[in-house]
């Protein structure tokens, strides 16, 4: 049976490869009007790369490296120029976020925070759900989604058992276990530090559109959107998964555990001090002359110094998702080169003529709503967030220039949407609580649709409000 399954998988992968590269070979000869051969080849190589990522016909990390050299072989750009764009700031901030997330988990600060968060609003079931979701959301604004979600999962699982919440049957258990990854995903949009993908899209925005959004500008939009969206998500989960219990038992033991952990000391205190300084520096780069990337790696450097010893690189390197790093680097490199070849302007012209120019004439809020909806729906055929952003940013950026709009305002929804993968729950963040057995894929998708609609409305309205103040430039 296993050999049969392996054989079927092998055949599917071969068919995918034949179709993808066969399609490339055919389409390569049909250059559309308004685009030269280099621009068309660049677009096709980027699209081939995305299809290979989606089908996983070959490992995604291998595809990422192959695509860089394949693009140079096809000839739309020199090899050195493609590789130069790989070494942009975004992928290295993603790497920093993964390292910091590991340190956060290792020193035990996550457990301390969760001990204070869970009883925050009382012991009523709905209040505990709000505390879990809000706590996960706020912590995830500054730390990687997955470690944050795992910390809250580890603390909530025994409490659910203590309250007799049976996996697969308990609605309260389902709400809690859905609320944790939802909180982490929504919190990830709050600040650039909330997800390494945020920094990747910021890097793309700078490379493609020539504009730079600051940590403070992103947070001015992202934090309120995240906080309002998490409250809406809480209301939705309370409605869909009405708790079968009224009072949550076991919170008193958390208060006792809180006393036992004692004051901050040792590695926990070292990390807290350094990270608190990093957060402050992220918000004041103009005053210090230190950008968010230098702050991130400067903090990690300090944590690695003798006497600090918070970073064990041999251990850390085994837990880093190197595939994610390579995918982000490749997406950034290819999207940047393709945008510089005029492909983004060509696509934006087509979309503008079709409907986007008319939509823009209806007002900024309507345009932002349409862009947010397009990005949300785009996750179905293209669930890899950074690859979707890599395809869309050149188009939306060029559209903003053509319509005389601020690129930051129009492109920010594209950047923020990379973390909102609740419609297509294949992101590792979504699966941090799946092993508990409390929810199924259909539960995440059904709640994800409503939560995403709420997020789209909040994001569009608040972005328009902040844009009107001139705070985004």
**For 257-311, how does the pLDDT look when each residue is reduced to its tens digit (9 = 90+)?**
777 777 888 999 999 999 999 999 988 988 899 988 899 999 999 999 999 989 9
Q: How confident is the model at residue 137 (pLDDT cuts 50, 70, 90)?
A: very high
Q: Is the pTM of this model over 0.85?
A: no
Using alpha carbons, list the distances in angstroms from residue 353 to 94, 348, 402, 403.
Answer: 36, 8, 11, 12
Asked if 427 contacts 386 with a C-beta cutoff of 8 angstroms, the reply is: no
Q: Which residues is 247 bridged to in the sheet?
A: 124
Tens digits of residue pLDDT in 420-448 = 767 655 566 777 788 788 988 788 888 88
d(CA 338, CA 78): 12
Neighbours of 428 (CB within 10 A): 13
Tokens coding 33: 């009007």
Report the percent of the chain where pLDDT is more than 90: 30
d(CA 136, CA 432): 12
Tokens coding 330: 């490749």
Tens digits of residue pLDDT in 70-82 = 999 998 888 888 8
Q: How confident is the model at residue 383 (pLDDT cuts 50, 70, 90)?
A: low
């Amino acid at each position: 049976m296993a050999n049969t399954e392996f054989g079927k998988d092998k055949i599917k992968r071969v068919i995918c490869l034949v179709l993808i590269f066969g399609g490339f070979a055919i389409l390569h000869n049909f250059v559309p009007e308004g685009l030269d051969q280099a621009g068309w080849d660049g677009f096709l190589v980027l699209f081939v790369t995305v299809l290979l990522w989606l089908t996983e016909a070959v490992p995604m990390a291998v595809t990422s490296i192959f695509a860089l050299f394949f693009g140079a072989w096809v000839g739309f750009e020199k090899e050195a120029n493609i590789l130069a764009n790989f070494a942009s700031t975004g992928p290295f901030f993603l790497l920093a976020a993964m390292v910091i997330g590991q340190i956060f988990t290792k020193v035990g600060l996550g457990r301390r925070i969760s001990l204070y968060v869970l009883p925050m609003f009382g012991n009523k079931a709905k209040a505990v759900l709000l505390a879990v979701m809000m706590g996960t959301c706020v912590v995830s604004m500054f730390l990687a989604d997955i470690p944050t979600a795992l910390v809250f999962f580890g603390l909530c699982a025994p409490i659910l058992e203590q309250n007799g919440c049976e996996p697969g049957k308990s609605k309260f258990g389902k709400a809690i276990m859905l609320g944790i990854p939802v909180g982490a995903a929504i919190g990830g949009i709050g600040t650039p530090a909330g997800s390494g993908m945020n920094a990747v899209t910021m890097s793309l925005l700078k490379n493609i559109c020539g504009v730079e959004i600051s940590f403070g500008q992103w947070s001015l939009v992202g934090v309120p959107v995240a906080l309002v969206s998490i409250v809406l998500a809480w209301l939705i989960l309370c409605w869909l998964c009405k708790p079968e219990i009224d009072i949550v038992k076991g919170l008193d033991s958390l208060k006792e555990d809180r006393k036992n952990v004692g004051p901050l000391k040792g590695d926990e205190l070292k990390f807290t001090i350094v990270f608190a300084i990093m957060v402050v520096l992220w918000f004041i780069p103009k005053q210090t002359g230190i950008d968010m990337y230098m702050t991130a790696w400067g903090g990690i450097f300090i944590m690695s110094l003798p006497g600090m010893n918070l970073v064990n690189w041999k251990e850390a390197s085994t837990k880093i998702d190197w595939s994610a790093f390579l995918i982000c680097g490749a997406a950034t490199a290819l999207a940047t080169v393709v945008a510089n070849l005029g492909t983004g302007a060509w696509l934006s012209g087509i979309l503008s003529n079709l409907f986007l120019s008319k939509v823009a004439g209806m007002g900024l809020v309507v345009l932002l709503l349409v862009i947010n909806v397009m990005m949300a729906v785009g996750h179905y055929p293209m669930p890899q967030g950074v690859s979707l952003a890599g395809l869309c940013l050149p188009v939306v950026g060029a559209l903003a220039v053509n319509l005389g709009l601020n690129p930051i305002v129009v492109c920010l929804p594209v950047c923020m949407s990379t973390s909102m993968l609740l419609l297509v729950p294949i992101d590792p963040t979504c699966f941090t609580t799946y092993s508990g057995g409390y929810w199924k894929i259909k539960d995440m998708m059904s709640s994800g649709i409503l939560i995403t609609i709420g997020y789209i409305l909040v994001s569009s309205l608040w972005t328009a409000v902040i844009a009107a103040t001139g705070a985004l430039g």
